Structure 1
Amino acid sequence: MQPREELTQLLTKAFEAARESGALPIENIPEIALERPRDEGHGDWACTAALRCAKEAKKNPREIAQAIVDGIPANDLIENIEIAGPGFINFRLKNVAMQDVVSQVREQGADYGKGTQPEGKRKVNIEYISANPTGPMHVGHGRWAALGSATANLMRHAGYEVFEEFYINDHGVQMDKFGLSIAARYLQQLGHEDAAVPEGGYNGLYVNDIAKEIIDRDGNKWEDADEHERMVEFREFGYAYIMKMFHDITDRFGNHFERWQSEREMYLPSDEFGGKSPFEYCIGNLKDKGDIYEKDGAVWFKSSEYGDEKDRVVRKADGDYTYFASDVAYHYWKKERGFDILIDIWGADHHGYIARVAAVLAAMGFPGALEVMLGQLVNLFRDGKPVRMSKRTGEMITFEELIDEVGIDATRYYMLSRSTEQPIDFDIDVAKKQDSSNPVYYVQYAHARICKLLRDEAGHSGEDNLDMAAVASEAIPADVDLSVLTAPEELALMRKMSEFGDLIALAARDRAPFRLTHYAQDLASLFHQFYTNCKILKADDEGLKKARLALCDAVRVVLEQTLGILGISAPQRM
């Protein structure tokens, strides 16, 4: 049992005893919330429950706090208790409580910090990146790639069942313009200088590359073909070309999508919906409820009745579907597939879409099912100066070019270093540095340094790619005495590791994987301080050496866990 859980149980018993004795005249025991004091001098945990039940008990909070303290059963957990301020109860735990964390981490390994979620709110669909298949991913997509997978990993560790999904925007006018753009470049390369890219089309150099591949495959076969037939052929060729790029880059980056959902499928008949398309089925249900009406030849959804600022068109008077129409069918279909929580990761420019999509789900009987994580921009810098164009192509820097230059680990770490509500200033030069000024290097170096200590102690100095848990078992006896770990640097490390389970639960609740980057840096910093101030392999006696190696091994496990959730490697050697 974690120290926090044990302390919560002791406080619950104390409240019950105070209530039964009449010292605390309240009907129900309040929730026992424990917090970390901002100043470590105030102890390991603080409880404010005495203040929260003072009004009902009609007593001074300090008097209530004293009654609680008097009712705490005898235990081996608490070193001392202080009632501070208006009624805070501060606890300092015995060293053994912190030392037990080392054993728990090493015994539980990859399961350390895992949580459980109740039935009914566990199944989560996270849809992210969802770029249009009309061009390469930009740097902003890289932020969603990192954020989506890290959020999924974090929520899994907290006990959710998570399903990762990429929605392919492959329906509508933009796809036809993509095909026409490729056709223009194809004809230009065959000598038709007057062939023009359509207004609102695609002008990137990659379009030339696609056209060249078609020429290499088919020669001038399409030069005099029917314009529409050519557009369709080139559209589908370009679509497959870009989708291969998407699969390659996300596989390389470590994303694992269980489903790549085509927007086109929203308008195709499905046995799942009795032969109707998902769109027709959903619109039919909304119409039966009176939430769909026709006006000026268009089909409208009454989104204003469900919190949106106005009603929305789902099918225009000319028969074309709006982008919103696909969202109507897609989000309803996700709920039909059995997910409790739908999380979408969108760019900040999509803020206006939230209310209308949430309105559809509310109309279908799923209020509150949608969560949208809006991400701000990524600003690239080099030598402190903004970078907007690729040196190689003279166009925007793509996601692929960024990870080619700085690597996957650094890209992920920087993309996850801030809350989604904040823009990211990504300094390419800092991300490439191999020193403590680069935060991901600083954290990874702590892990690698621990691996070296364990390898050296176990006699594997020159070996690579080892099972570090097995190496640690060789280096550290099973009955290692941890009671000698009493130095301030040692206690600080153990205290930080004891926070990991709470960090996971709260960060998952708030969909905030950026907190793990801060935690990793804090833990690495404490380890580097410990390494500097406390002798390890040259400790004063063998027992202290082995105990400190056990502490190092526990830090290794937690660092590996933290980095793994973020999708970042934990190297054994640097």
Structure 2
Amino acid sequence: MTPDQLSAAVRACLLAAVEAGELAVVVPDEVRVERPKQREHGDWSTNIALQLAKQAGRPPREVALALAARLGEVAGVKSVDVAGPGFLNVVLDAASAGELARTIVEAGAAYGRSDALTGHVLNLEFVSANPTGPLHIGHTRWAALGDALGRLLSAAGAQVTREFYVNDAGAQMDRFGASVLARLRGTEVPEGGYKGEYVAELAVKVRAEHPEIDGLPDDEALVLAREAGYRLQLGEIQQTLADFGVHFDVWFSERTLHEAGAVEAAIERLREQGHVDDRDGAVWLRTTDFGDDKDRVLVKADGEKTYFAADAAYYLSKKDRGFGEKIYMLGADHHGYVQRLKALAACAGDDPEVNLEVLIGQLVSVGGAKLSKRAGNIIELRDLVDWLGVDAVRYSLARYPADSPLTLDGEVLTRRTNDNPVFYVQYAHARLAGIARNAVEAGVRREDGFDPALLDDPTDTALLGALAEMPRVVAHAAQLREPHRVARHLEELAGHFHRWYDATRVTPRAEESVTDAHRSRLWLAEAARVVFANGLDLLGVSAPERM
């Protein structure tokens, strides 16, 4: 019996009690059941009696007793105990609990997925680094978390578009082009330009592709250096992210907003909404109408459009493309953007509490990491991956809340020991794959029998309970935008698995014959392997079969 099936059974008992006149309540659409913190309290627990007591006009314990009598007659329920003020603690019989192993194995890669967010159409924007330099450790955190969040949202049934906003317009691009051209010609990089060795590398590549650049006038050479350098640098960003296992559905160029007149159109649309003023020769958006600390300039007095004007056009582009929900994942230095973006959404006629979500990531550092020689005073993503590996970096960044400052211990992450979280979880999967290989050699085959009632060891029960929680963990992680919940659950699951491995056997000892107990535990082992594989995949981490 799965948690969802037990939840449905409790709800059916509620409906029956209401129909029989035992309770006068409105039955909720869903009854929540949870794993008790203390195993002696049963397999599952619900506080539904406490929730409905006031409505029923009866003490919670009386409501619980009325439900317990009916729930105790449900097939697969071994016992029901009313505890404390009215908690219902449920113990399943071994066969009912063990049947979950077959359910998981048959579901395979689909186990853990749900329809919790079906109908939600989401635009998930993350990383969005300037195409003027390599990705660094700050981008790495959002790359890992953003990709994991996209996977979680999809697993919960949402329609997700992963988007990278390419900031390829404005003065920064001119400074970038001037920097590439200076390196190409052997002159000093202009003030405010980009001085990393990667610029010199780009200059060499630009000349190799465009040898004619040496004979061009300065203005033409600058345009060519800027455009060719931009294309090369963006290509490196795309390749670095692909190597990191991060995929984007859309690479949205800021330039397209300006070239298509979308910025001017956005200003006029906001004016029609009644939130644009002309003051002191400039054009303002009255974001203070919706809680911003000051109004925002869209067009300066000299006619130059601001970055915020492009932000407004970009927001409206997302809205026009049919994204009812827009998630922005921004760096720690963007706290000031939260309220102005919410005000912008309101000015555009959206509900900022429904149509917009801004997630702010805090700074991350890695002990022992070396600064990039080619990029200057930063730690590059690709150097970090070369040192620690994709799996260690992605898992380590995914296992902490985004809003917490983070220092990773490079020494720990390179160890093959249980104090290295990614090794601990991956080793559990590898060990389970090894169990399957050993079972083949010992002649233990799942297809020869499965008796879930034989999964009656306390470690069987504990492992099954943790496996049963996976769909709910995934759904909650998606709804709360917190991938770390999956990582932490996998670590808890690994603990249950290792204890189970020490206490039970899948293959017989030398003097023993193969029994249904061995076969049934092979089903449980495969169920656990499936859950580890699915959970690691949600985090963008591999599930090795040997370590």
Distance (whole Å) between structure 2 residues aligned to residue 528 and residue 26 of structure 1: 45
Q: Is the 8 A contact 2:167 2:253 kept in 1?
A: yes
Give the 3 Å change call, closer, same or farther, for CA 394–339 of structure 1 in structure 2. closer
Q: Is the 8 A contact 2:133 2:375 kept in 1?
A: no
Q: Residue 237 in 1 paired to residue 222 in 2?
A: no
Aligned to 1:542: 514
Give the 3 Å change call, closer, same or farther, for CA 71–458 of structure 1 in structure 2. closer
**How many angstroms does 1:52 deviate by?**
2.2
TM-score (norm: length of structure 2)? 0.93
Find the partner of 1:328 among 312, 315, 319: 312
1:147-177 CA distance string (max 9 Å, x none): 1111111111111111111110111111111
Q: Residue 356 in 1 paired to residue 335 in 2?
A: no
RMSD: 2.2
**How many angstroms does 1:559 deviate by?**
0.6
Q: Residue 415 in 1 paired to residue 397 in 2?
A: yes
Aligned to 2:355: 369
Aligned to 2:96: 97
Secondary structure of the structure 2 residue equivalent to 1:309 = coil
Give the 3 Å change call, closer, same or farther, for CA 254–319 of structure 1 in structure 2. same
Give the 3 Å change call, closer, same or farther, for CA 117–437 of structure 1 in structure 2. closer
Aligned to 1:433: 415
1:52-96 CA distance string (max 9 Å, x none): 233333322212222222343721222211222222222122222
Aligned to 2:536: 563
Aligned to 1:18: 17
Q: Residue 489 in 1 paired to residue 459 in 2?
A: yes
Aligned to 2:46: 47
TM-score (norm: length of structure 1)? 0.89
Deviates more, 1:446-455 or 1:412-421: 446-455
Distance (whole Å) between structure 1 residues aligned to residue 91 and residue 217 of structure 2: 81
Q: Is the 8 A contact 2:364 2:407 kept in 1?
A: yes
Deviates more, 1:48-57 or 1:15-24: 15-24
Q: Residue 378 in 1 paired to residue 364 in 2?
A: yes
Aligned to 2:176: 178
Aligned to 1:200: 192
**How many angstroms does 1:117 deviate by?**
4.5
Gap runs ≥5 in structure 2 = none
Distance (whole Å) between structure 2 residues aligned to residue 175 and residue 534 of structure 1: 63
**How many angstroms does 1:529 deviate by?**
1.6
User: Once the two structures are aligned, what percentage of the paired residues are identical?
Assistant: 38
Aligned to 1:192: none
1:284-316 CA distance string (max 9 Å, x none): 211112211211221111211223222111122
1:239-265 CA distance string (max 9 Å, x none): 011111111111111112111100111
Distance (whole Å) between structure 2 residues aligned to residue 236 and residue 118 of structure 1: 41
Aligned to 2:247: 256
Aligned to 2:495: 525
Aligned to 1:552: 525
One-letter identity of the residue aligned with 1:546? R
Aligned to 2:479: 509
Aligned to 1:187: 185
**How many angstroms does 1:482 deviate by?**
2.7
Q: Is the 8 A contact 2:72 2:78 kept in 1?
A: no
Aligned to 1:273: none
Distance (whole Å) between structure 2 residues aligned to residue 324 and residue 301 of structure 1: 10
Distance (whole Å) between structure 2 residues aligned to residue 117 and residue 31 of structure 1: 12
**How many angstroms does 1:394 deviate by?**
6.3
Find the partner of 1:344 among 322, 328, 331: 328
Give the 3 Å change call, closer, same or farther, for CA 29–225 of structure 1 in structure 2. closer
Aligned to 1:274: none
Deviates more, 1:2-11 or 1:545-554: 2-11
Give the 3 Å change call, closer, same or farther, for CA 518–117 of structure 1 in structure 2. closer
**How many angstroms does 1:538 deviate by?**
2.5
Distance (whole Å) between structure 1 residues aligned to residue 112 and residue 215 of structure 2: 64
Distance (whole Å) between structure 2 residues aligned to residue 84 and residue 73 of structure 1: 15
1:130-155 CA distance string (max 9 Å, x none): 00000000011111111111111111
Distance (whole Å) between structure 1 residues aligned to residue 57 and residue 215 of structure 2: 90
Aligned to 1:399: 381
Distance (whole Å) between structure 2 residues aligned to residue 348 and residue 394 of structure 1: 21
1:214-270 CA distance string (max 9 Å, x none): 344556x5567543332222111210111111111111111121111001111122x
Structure 1 segment 59-138 matched on structure 2, within 5 A: 59-72=58-71, 74-117=73-116, 121-138=119-136
One-letter identity of the residue aligned with 1:332? L
Distance (whole Å) between structure 1 residues aligned to residue 99 and residue 244 of structure 2: 37
Q: Residue 291 in 1 paired to residue 246 in 2?
A: no
Secondary structure of the structure 1 residue equivalent to 2:71 = coil
Q: Is the 8 A contact 1:16 1:29 kept in 2?
A: no
Structure scoring higher RCO (CA < 8 A, sep ≥ 6) equals 2
**How many angstroms does 1:327 deviate by?**
1.4
Deviates more, 1:43-52 or 1:475-484: 475-484
Give the 3 Å change call, closer, same or farther, for CA 388–314 of structure 1 in structure 2. farther
Distance (whole Å) between structure 1 residues aligned to residue 28 and residue 494 of structure 2: 39
Q: Is the 8 A contact 1:46 1:91 kept in 2?
A: yes
Secondary structure of the structure 2 residue equivalent to 1:79 = strand
Give the 3 Å change call, closer, same or farther, for CA 302–527 of structure 1 in structure 2. same
Secondary structure of the structure 1 residue equivalent to 2:447 = coil
Distance (whole Å) between structure 2 residues aligned to residue 238 and residue 478 of structure 1: 63
Give the 3 Å change call, closer, same or farther, for CA 10–475 of structure 1 in structure 2. closer
**How many angstroms does 1:29 deviate by?**
5.0
Structure 1 segment 152-171 matched on structure 2, within 5 A: 152-171=150-169
Distance (whole Å) between structure 2 residues aligned to residue 34 and residue 570 of structure 1: 30
Distance (whole Å) between structure 1 residues aligned to residue 376 and residue 159 of structure 2: 43
Distance (whole Å) between structure 1 residues aligned to residue 231 and residue 201 of structure 2: 13
Q: Residue 246 in 1 paired to residue 249 in 2?
A: no
Distance (whole Å) between structure 2 residues aligned to residue 434 and residue 21 of structure 1: 60
Deviates more, 1:58-67 or 1:235-244: 58-67
Q: Is the 8 A contact 2:196 2:376 kept in 1?
A: no
Aligned to 1:468: none
Q: Is the 8 A contact 1:348 1:376 kept in 2?
A: yes
One-letter identity of the residue aligned with 1:358? K
Give the 3 Å change call, closer, same or farther, for CA 232–155 of structure 1 in structure 2. same
One-letter identity of the residue aligned with 2:357? E
